[in-house]
Amino acid sequence: MRQQQHMPRTVRLERMDCLDFLRSLADESVDIIVTDPAYSGMNRHLQFGHGRIVGHYASKSDPAEQKWFQEFHDDPATYRHFLTECKRVLRNNRHLYIMFDSYSLLTLGPIVREVFDVKNLITWDKIAIGMGHYFRRRHEYVLFATKGQRKLSRRDIPDVWRFRRIHRAAYPTQKPVEVFAAMLCGSVEPDFVVCDPFVGSGSAAIAALKRGCSFVGADVSEQAIALTRERTEVYQATGHDPLQRQSAIENEGDAAFLDIPDQDNQAVGAQSAS
Ligand SMILES: C[S@@+](CC[C@H](N)C(=O)[O-])C[C@H]1O[C@@H](n2cnc3c(N)ncnc32)[C@H](O)[C@@H]1O
């Protein structure tokens, strides 16, 4: 049987603010946005801990790098601007997935409806309990929306995803690749361009490569970009993900819908740019 020919998968990473990055992209130039923004609202309003999600000091010389990462200023006007830029760069008849904690969902979730056609709210059950003052957090949300009419290509994907959170992650807010793989599995075709303007450790980039897609992403943190560049290069060269060696799937039944193709040792074209 003749094998289908695919374009080489490329990875483009920029150390940039999400808005500057999105403004640098052409209209309708990406096929899906999957992202996990660094919300500041929950910290500001609920004053968890010391009022910060992350206080891991990495560099004494560069004040911009003193925290592992900065929080995105997610006031409603900035968030609306961010979403408008997401809509501009996304092709028509395509999907958007945005992660939310409970607080940000209440404050910013409604703004997504002003810009996109919101279709569902998915719960990511992290299996293991985390921190939290009133109730300890065990879940996050993924809001699913469309630009135009595109349907999911699958009808077997549940709206609760059970993937174990990453313990002792290389990056403080590193999410399991499976969370992004679940976002992509009913929404992409090979050769689609996946975009994440808050790339962190690059879990979305690995999920994109596993599905035969290209990736464009940005982060304000130099460490995030360096980690993601190295991670994607290793993955493209070896087929192994150096930052997540263990599956986050606890129960095969929970993830039967997640048919990540096994790309181990498959040669794919790499091209990283800063
Ligand atoms: C929640 S983390 C993303 C984690 C990522 N999903 C992963 O699995 O590793 C959010 C990221 O947004 C970045 N960030 C914060 N403010 C930003 C901004 N204005 N523009 C772009 N990135 C920003 C942070 O440096 C951080 O890496």
Residuewise pLDDT in 10s, the chain (274 residues): 344 556 679 999 999 999 999 999 999 999 999 999 998 765 554 433 333 434 443 444 444 444 555 667 788 999 999 999 999 999 999 999 999 999 999 999 999 999 999 999 999 999 999 988 889 999 999 999 999 999 999 999 999 999 999 999 999 999 999 999 999 999 999 999 999 999 999 999 999 999 999 999 999 999 999 999 999 999 999 999 999 999 999 998 888 998 765 443 333 333 333 3
Could you tell me if 97 and 183 are in contact, meaning their C-beta atoms sit under 8 angstroms apart?
A: yes
Tell me what pLDDT residue 17 has.
94
Tell me what pLDDT residue 141 has.
98
**Is 102 close to ligand 1, i.e. is its CB under 6 Å away?**
no
Q: What are phi and psi of 215, to 5 degrees?
A: -140, 140
Tell me what pLDDT residue 132 has.
83
Mutual orientation of helices 222-238 and 203-210 as an angle, nearest 10°? Answer: 20
Distance from the alpha carbon of residue 155 to the mean position of ligand 1, in angstroms: 31
CA of 177: how far to CAs of 126, 164, 189, 239, 243, in Å?
Answer: 13, 11, 18, 14, 10
The strand ranges marked E within the chain are 11-15, 30-35, 90-100, 117-125, 139-147, 160-162, 193-196, 214-219
**Is 107 close to ligand 1, i.e. is its CB under 6 Å away?**
no
Residue 102's SS3 state is helix
Could you tell me if 274 and 268 are in contact, meaning their C-beta atoms sit under 8 angstroms apart?
A: no
The whole-angstrom separation of Cα 166 and Cα 174 is 7
**Is 173 close to ligand 1, i.e. is its CB under 6 Å away?**
yes
Distance from the alpha carbon of residue 136 to the mean position of ligand 1, in angstroms: 23
Tell me what pLDDT residue 207 has.
97
**Which distant-in-sequence residues (6+ apart) come within 8 Å of 220 by Cβ?**
15, 16, 17, 18, 64, 69, 70
Residue with tokens 């999907």: 95
**Is 69 close to ligand 1, i.e. is its CB under 6 Å away?**
yes
Tell me what pLDDT residue 210 has.
95
* H helix intervals, 15-142: 18-24, 41-46, 76-89, 102-115
**Is 180 close to ligand 1, i.e. is its CB under 6 Å away?**
no
**Is 200 close to ligand 1, i.e. is its CB under 6 Å away?**
yes
Tell me what pLDDT residue 6 has.
63
Closest-CA residue, ligand 1 atom 24, reads 69
Tell me what pLDDT residue 273 has.
36
Distance from the alpha carbon of residue 130 to the mean position of ligand 1, in angstroms: 20
Pairing of strands 30-35, 193-196: parallel
**Which distant-in-sequence residues (6+ apart) come within 8 Å of 168 by Cβ?**
none
| Structural tokens at position 14 | 């920029």
- From 3.30.1360.200, 1.10.10.10, 3.40.50.150, 3.90.550.10, which CATH number describes the 11-255 domain? 3.40.50.150
The Cβ of residue 168 has, within 10 Å, a number of other Cβ atoms equal to: 5
